[in-house]
Amino acid sequence: MDIVWISHPDNYRPATLQGIGAGAQERLDLFAEHGHTLRVVQSHLIVPGWAGGPRLWVGDEDLLDERRGFMVTGWTWDAAAATHISAISRAIRASSSVLLTDGILDPERLGSDKLAMYHFAGERGVPVLPTVSVPYGRHAGAALEQVTRHLDADGYVVKPREMARGFGVLKVDTIEQLSATVDLLTPGALGCVIQPYFANSGDLRVYVHRGEVIAGLLRKPAAGSYLANVSQGGSGSAMSVPSEIREHSERLARDLESPYLCIDWLLSDAGPVFNEWMTVSAAFENLPEPEKTRVSDALFATIADRLAAGE
Ligand SMILES: Nc1ncnc2c1ncn2[C@@H]1O[C@H](COP(=O)(O)OP(=O)(O)OP(=O)(O)O)[C@@H](O)[C@H]1O
Ligand SMILES: [Mg+2]
């Protein structure tokens, strides 16, 4: 095995997990076609540590006993699991192995936190929605005061700061519903943000490789729905990338020092807004040809470059 994919099955119900496993098979096959031997290890089986060097023990084995590539599914709704997974990621970063799911400047900060992404993108003149992060516990309600001050909107989206696959992305229409939603967040540990609902014609994923946009995947919600995620019933098709989005995307990839970056934009007649970015774990399987092969070639070239660097 030269690559280990550390997954976190506890995120899902068993039936959902089966579907995800089937969907991941295409990606696993691609790794094999590109000459990689890949092993999937569930995060709860791993014990991170130090014993003369960083260690990732699985029983009597150490996954860091030779130099490998790692992909880590870092997002979870479970705060205790998130702490465990960050110990795994930090052990890999401390070792001679490569954490392939990093691949950007300052991944601990900018890897998956949407608020941190908005700070970074907004500072660079990229259009970003006003966003309010919900404080914790009995202080959560303080978010509502800032929403009425800073988010001039007919409706709102409440979503986790660090999740994926459309998990917990909720559209609410009134301040009364928003207030009840914040009440429901009060006892939990899932950090969330509130944004205006941005009426959009789809979520465009732009793939940037070696500084240049190489493909665009437009995901549209199903009729009557608001989530564009293909895993939530949205549909995907190739789209040529408008020049404004191309320029912003290439600038972000450059400033993030990322050789391979997928950047999502919500589209509207009034212009796009930035939504989020992701590195090598972002889906591309829904692209038609020839874009799909172009993106997978770029992905595996990036993985090869990163494994070769520092060897
Ligand atoms: N502020 C918003 N206004 C309108 N729609 C939104 C907004 N934020 C998110 N959405 C919709 O919800 C979808 C999922 O939201 P988002 O991409 O932020 O979350 P995610 O769970 O990280 O998804 P992904 O799997 O793409 O990483 C988006 O693709 C978009 O269709
Ligand atoms: Mg998304």
Which atom of ligand 1 lies at the shortest distance from residue 202's CA? 31
In the chain, which segments carry CATH 3.40.50? 3-99
d(C-alpha 59, C-alpha 106), whole Å: 32
Percent of the chain at pLDDT exceeding 90: 89
In the chain, which segments carry CATH 3.30.1490.20? 132-196
For the segment 296-306, the average pLDDT, to the nearest whole number, is 97
CA–centroid distance, 184 to ligand 2, in Å, is: 23
Strands (E), 53-202: 54-58, 61-62, 69-72, 98-99, 132-133, 156-160, 170-172, 192-196
Reduce the DSSP state of residue 235 to 3 states and report it.
strand
Which atom of ligand 1 lies at the shortest distance from residue 226's CA? 31
Which whole-number Å values give the CA distances from 261 to 114, 209, 255, in the listed order?
15, 7, 11
pLDDT greater than 90 at residue 216: yes
Q: Which CATH number fits domain 132-196: 2.40.30.10, 3.30.1490.20, 3.10.20.30, 3.20.20.80?
A: 3.30.1490.20
CA–centroid distance, 165 to ligand 2, in Å, is: 7
Nearest ligand (C-alpha, residue 219): 1
In the chain, which segments carry CATH 3.30.470.20? 107-127+200-303
d(C-alpha 117, C-alpha 217), whole Å: 20
Which whole-number Å values give the CA distances from 102 to 74, 91, 150, 190, 214, in the listed order?
10, 13, 33, 22, 20
Instruction: Give domain 107-127+200-303's CATH architecture.
Output: 2-Layer Sandwich (3.30)
Q: Which of 115, 159, 277 to mutate to test the pocket of ligand 1 (most atoms within 8 A of CB)?
A: 159
Q: Which of 12, 73, 169, 264 to mutate to test the pocket of ligand 1 (most atoms within 8 A of CB)?
A: 169
Handedness of CA 265, 267, 272, 273 (dihedral sign): negative
Q: Are 168 and 160 in contact (CB under 8 A)?
A: yes
pLDDT digits (tens, 9 = 90+) for 40-73: 999 999 999 999 999 999 999 999 999 999 999 9
Whether the CB of 165 sits within 6 Å of ligand 1 = yes
Whether the CB of 217 sits within 6 Å of ligand 1 = no
Per-residue model confidence (pLDDT) at position 19: 85
Closest residue CA from atom 15 of ligand 1: 166
Per-residue model confidence (pLDDT) at position 310: 72
Whether the CB of 77 sits within 6 Å of ligand 1 = no
pLDDT digits (tens, 9 = 90+) for 156-209: 999 999 999 899 999 999 999 999 999 999 999 999 999 999 999 999 999 999
d(C-alpha 267, C-alpha 200), whole Å: 5
Whether the CB of 239 sits within 6 Å of ligand 1 = no
Q: Is the domain 3-99 a CATH 2.60.120 member?
A: no
Residue found by looking up tokens 């039936």 in the block: 15
Tokens of 55: 């260690």
Residue 80: CB partners within 8 Å, gap ≥ 6?
Answer: none
